[in-house]
Amino acid sequence: MLAFDAAVKISPTAGVWNDVAYQLALGHSHLNLARNYAESAVSTTEASLRTLTLDQITAKNVGGTSALGNSWDTLGWIAFQENDVEKAHKYVLAAWELNQNAEEADHLAQICKKTGDQEGAARYYGLAANVRRPSDETKRSLVELVGNEKRVQQVIEKYKPEILAERTLKIANTAKASGTADFFILLQGRSGADSPAQEVKFITGDEKLKLEADPLRSAKFHQTFPDENVKVVRRGTLTCSSSDVDCTLILDLPEDMRSAD
């Protein structure tokens, strides 16, 4: 605690607040303090993105999206330690839909277990095992849940396609064109499971696909928000073929978005 207190005094920033809060949550210790730090990290990061427009996007804004997901997960995991399962699910699910981190899927699996949803727990453990940097603990938890190694591999293979599918959308090919292009998409929080794009910005690629900006604005992105009036930035690659009715948009993971161009 002395070290955490010193870190917060040296650098009172959202990233440090989140890191300290998460370590306290992992240790099931000082949860009131952990919640205060996590809430500060969430509110500060949300505020930094609230006035964002794609015309003024910077690398810092881009990085803020990933950081916000991390803070949502931390706040949700603290709620789980405090037995507030509803709040835990709300924040961790939003974090998973945004970042697709192994820890977020593992946390959702544990939330499902606590509510008696064994199928949901198996699904999220399977998803956690398929993303980057899966932990050995996740696999051990899955073995304990389903009973044996053979069944574990079946579960992992079953849910593997969902990783990319959750970041893939079909967009009407109104341009009747072929090619690829990258876009920035600004989403704003609202009630409900799907969020429309507030703004869309063409970045690079086949110029004729600029016409696809309007269909992108009309698309429903599978992103829930634990709070309203919150913004996040996504980047995606749109692939079109003139022979197809729809184009395919694949969203990048926020941690892979390194620049504003």
Q: What is the pLDDT of residue 165?
A: 96
Q: What is the pLDDT of residue 9?
A: 79
pLDDT higher than 90, residue 82: yes
Q: What is the pLDDT of residue 109?
A: 98
Alpha carbon distance 2, 8 (integer Å): 10
The average pLDDT across 142-149 equals 90
Q: What is the pLDDT of residue 228?
A: 80
CA dihedral 237, 73, 76, 94 (to 10 degrees): 0
Q: What is the pLDDT of residue 193?
A: 63
Query: Could you tell me what percent of the chain has a pLDDT over 70?
Result: 99
DSSP 8-class letter at 207: G
Alpha carbon distance 65, 67 (integer Å): 5
Q: Which of 252, 241, 254 is nearest to 212 (CA)?
A: 241
The model's pTM is 0.92
Q: What is the pLDDT of residue 154?
A: 94
Task: Assign 5 a pLDDT band (cuts: 50, 70, 90).
Answer: confident
pLDDT higher than 90, residue 90: yes
Domains and CATH numbers, the chain: 2-165 (1.25.40.10), 168-256 (3.30.1150)
Question: Could you tell me which residue, 149 or 179, shows the higher pLDDT?
Answer: 179
Q: What is the pLDDT of residue 40?
A: 95
The average pLDDT across 119-141 equals 94
The average pLDDT across 17-41 equals 93
pLDDT higher than 90, residue 3: no
The average pLDDT across 134-140 equals 90
pLDDT higher than 90, residue 120: yes
pLDDT higher than 90, residue 7: no
Q: What is the pLDDT of residue 103?
A: 96
Q: Which of 116, 240, 225, 228 is nearest to 182 (CA)?
A: 240
The two most distant CA atoms of the chain are separated, in Å, by 64
Q: What is the pLDDT of residue 34?
A: 94
- Per-residue pLDDT of 162-221, as tens digits, reads 999 999 999 999 989 899 999 999 998 875 567 778 899 999 999 999 999 999 998 989
pLDDT higher than 90, residue 67: yes
Specify the residue for token string 């184009």: 247
Alpha carbon distance 176, 165 (integer Å): 24
Q: What is the pLDDT of residue 152?
A: 93
Q: What is the pLDDT of residue 260?
A: 74
Alpha carbon distance 68, 231 (integer Å): 10
Q: What is the pLDDT of residue 196?
A: 79
Average pLDDT, the chain: 92
